[in-house]
Structure 1
């Protein structure tokens, strides 16, 4: 089975077209070699793919006849992705939320005025000396 079709069948990509584009961009390797979308995969092949800032490592256990349900995916692949890769992604997500809570949008005029007032208040203290 083609690698793009396999990754679509085991639900790593939503469409075959997205899987094909990822192959063309060089985001995946099979047994250490960069894979074209038409590369055939066989049981015991090691697939490494980069998606959403995580490098997934898979071992092909079997080839599905067609796209499988989410509960059946583990019958066709063994996920050997290290847990620290997912921890790193969680750390990135938390660091983005540190400054401003998600959904609050751009800084308001009041936020800007507060920042200006804070910056000017330290300058005023220096003038008193």
Structure 2
């Protein structure tokens, strides 16, 4: 054990991601680091890279999340405590475009007529 005071202010990135509940298990966090889905301050990192308060972590889960490190956690804690250690800077998703309702036709009516096709085209916005 070292007597370095800065050692308490750092943690492995895979451990921190697991502790703040970005990934369900530490092994999933490790795999994400190895696959290049985790970047600290714009640089891809290995699972053993140390993270400190003030760093910006970009994680690609289903979408990219941008997290600021406010606190260092070495163990998994309750969700409210984990939320205090993270500054979520992820921008909100863009507004969803409204799509027209699907055109439902009676299956037994056969092929659409020319008038029906024009109505379908108009409804779909082509």
- TM-score (structure 2 length as normaliser): 0.68
Structure 1 unmatched ranges of 5 or more = 100-110, 124-129
Please give the alpha-carbon distance, in whole angstroms, between the structure 2 residues aligned to 1:26 and 1:49: 9
Give the direction of change, closer, same or farther, for the CA distance of 1:121–1:46 in structure 2 (3 Å limit): closer
Alpha-carbon RMSD across the aligned residues, in angstroms, is 2.8
**Where does structure 1 differ by over 4 angstroms across 4 or more consecutive aligned residues?**
none
Secondary structure of residue in 1 paired with 2:113: helix
Contact 2:32-2:38 within 8 A present in 1 as well? yes
Give the direction of change, closer, same or farther, for the CA distance of 1:121–1:61 in structure 2 (3 Å limit): closer
- Following superposition, the deviation at residue 117 of structure 1 comes to 4.6
Structure 2 unmatched ranges of 5 or more = 1-10, 115-126
Secondary structure of residue in 2 paired with 1:29: strand
Secondary structure of residue in 2 paired with 1:44: coil
Partner residue of 2:76 out of 46, 67, 73:
67
Deviations 1:99-129 (A, max 9, x none): 6xxxxxxxxxxx9x92x854x3539xxxxxx
1:22 has 2:22 as partner: no
Deviations 1:27-79 (A, max 9, x none): 110011101111110111110111112x1111111111310111112221111
Secondary structure of residue in 2 paired with 1:6: helix
1:58 has 2:49 as partner: no
Please give the alpha-carbon distance, in whole angstroms, between the structure 1 residues aligned to 2:21 and 2:46: 19
Query: Equivalences for 1:85-96 in 2 at 5 Å?
Result: 85=93, 87=94, 91=96
Please give the alpha-carbon distance, in whole angstroms, between the structure 2 residues aligned to 1:65 and 1:37: 14
